[in-house]
Amino acid sequence: MKRLFSKTIIWGLMVLLIFNIASPVNANEIEKGPSLNMEHLDKKEQQSIKKHLKSLKADKAKNSKKLSKENKKIANESLENAESELVYADIAEGEKNIILGTDNPKTFVAVTDENIEVIEQVGDTEFLMNGELHQFEVTIINEPNGTLPALTNEFEGENSGGISTEASSAWTFIGSTWVNVNSQRNFNTYSASALGTVIAGILATVGGVGFWGVTLASLGVGMAYNYVASSEYPTNVGRSHVFRYKRGVSPLRDYRTKSYDYAVYYGKTIYLGISERIRKSCVGCGV
């Protein structure tokens, strides 16, 4: 299966910090609001997201029976203040993926179409998802900056034989990273918004600020969407090879992240698709 999650985001939840292009934000703060977090969507898509958030209520969610009274209250408060609480929103293959902040910096509301999930980080790799405890493991392997990794024959499926590192001559290669994800249960049992929230939160904790910069959410939710969408590979183990590029001079600098995502299925590493995001230096420039 070939899945493309191009247009993914700017900083996905739980992620304990988010970088503005010009300067970093405090680690305990999260950048909220639609101006940056929907800049990658066209006007019609932005209106669709806003309309959806206004019409959605916890009591009418498809999974409302899985929400406790307290979590319904948390979700409704975020939905009522969606204009200021929006952390991330995107539309992938017709599916709305939305992340909202709350008064608690470690608690987020993940919306996937008509489903609502309240997610709280209770440990570096432990999360309560609608009150149910889930454990995850994420490891990161950095490769030398400025050096393209050698091609490999390890992978099967699309893009077999190596990773394409094509980029315009205007882009400068910064470095690449392997991200390995192991979840408590199979990926296809999670929603993309919820799993993306978790991955972004763990990467923020494990990866650190300077390493991920402005592209953490696009990585987290993009990886999650590819993992979740590949239901023909019911696995809980995934790998992503992330390439980072830049162009221009700070503060007028653009960043590009391209992640090649794989499922580890019965000992084979199978290509799933690409997660890509270009973050421009000026607000409203789009992608």
- The residue to which tokens 């995502």 are assigned: 261
Give CA–CA dist 9/87, Å, rounded: 9
Q: What is the identity of the amino acid at 178?
A: W
**In sequence order, what are the residues at sequence separation of 6 or more whose Cβ sits closer than 8 angstroms to the Cβ of residue 245?**
167, 171, 172, 173, 174, 255, 256, 257, 258
**In sequence order, what are the residues at sequence separation of 6 or more whose Cβ sits closer than 8 angstroms to the Cβ of residue 214?**
10, 11, 18, 19, 20, 21, 255, 279
Helix (H) or strand (E) holding 137: strand 132-142
Q: How confident is the prediction along the chain (287 residues), in pLDDT tens digits per residue?
A: 434 343 333 233 333 223 232 223 333 345 666 656 777 788 999 999 999 999 999 999 999 999 999 999 999 999 999 989 988 888 888 899 998 989 998 899 999 999 999 999 998 889 999 999 999 998 888 877 666 555 444 555 544 434 444 545 588 888 888 999 999 999 999 999 999 888 887 877 776 644 454 456 667 888 899 999 888 999 999 999 988 888 888 778 888 888 899 999 998 999 999 988 777 765 544 44
**In sequence order, what are the residues at sequence separation of 6 or more whose Cβ sits closer than 8 angstroms to the Cβ of residue 164?**
none
Position 24 scores a pLDDT of: 33
Phi, psi for 195 (deg, rounded to 5): -65, -40
C-alpha dihedral (44, 45, 49, 51), degrees to nearest 10:
20
Question: Quick one: tokens of 223?
Answer: 């990886």
pTM: 0.76
- Determine contact, residues 259/243, Cβ cutoff 8 Å: yes
Position 149 scores a pLDDT of: 58
- Determine contact, residues 244/215, Cβ cutoff 8 Å: yes
Give the residues across from 24 on adjacent strands. 19
